[in-house]
Amino acid sequence: MKKGLFITFEGADGCGKTTQIELLKKYLDEKGIKNIQTREPGATELGVELRKILLHYDKPVSNVAETYLYLADRAQHVEFEIKPALENGTVVLCDRYTDSTLSYQGYARKQNLETIEKLNEIATGGLKPDLTIVFDIDSLLAQKRLSGEKDRLEKEGLEFHKALRLGYLEIAKKETKRIKVINADDTIENIHKKVVKIVSEFIDKL
């Protein structure tokens, strides 16, 4: 039985969400709230292998194969990391989850959205986040923020990134209670304050 709280963080590559998750983790640690920070893909041993393929395989990958690899990573992650932590009363801070697959493989790769939703449901056994924060940012600005060598998904063009941004905004419109959108074109401190406000209000209502 689930006792913890499941919070996911979403957005395009370069939106700054990982920095924000780290700051929120520090905030929760200081408050003495038991929490873990995790991510997709790549949080389990199997996931580490899948992440290497997903981000660095240098031959063509079919859209369906790509989708199933993300889902395999998720199934392993849910069963062996997320569910046990939630059962243990832990707040789980997860960098990407089902909405990434809907936005990237659904909206950006243009695969059927209902099918992706069904596959997400199978991979997670129906485990939905309690709260999701989407960091929204102009696609060109997000791409400019990326440093170092780009991975397979980051190498996709501007149109791909624009499509997945619109995907996130569409999903957020459909689920206003679960998903909160934050403008990610702001200072790290201001965004952190907004994240803390959303999360604290959510926890207070429990």
Among residues 3, 14, 4, which one has the least CA distance to residue 38?
4
Q: DSSP character for 108?
A: I
Burial of 55 (0-12, 13-18, 19+ CB in 10 A): middle
- Options 153, 166, 196, 198; binder of ligand TMP; rule CB under 6 A: 153
* Binding flag, residue 107, ligand TMP (CB under 6 A): no
Nearer to ligand TMP, 182 or 197 (CB): 182
**Using rule CB under 6 A, residue 44 touches ligand TMP:** no
Min. distance of Cβ 119 from ligand TMP in angstroms? 10
Give the chain's end-to-end CA distance (angstroms, integer).
Answer: 16
DSSP 90: P
Residue 100 contacts ligand TMP per CB under 6 A:
yes
- Tell which one of 7, 9, 35, 104 touches ligand TMP (CB under 6 A): 104
* Contact of 42 with 50, CB cutoff 8 Å: yes
Q: Which residues bind ligand TMP (CB under 6 A)?
A: 13, 39-41, 70, 96, 100-101, 104-105, 153-154
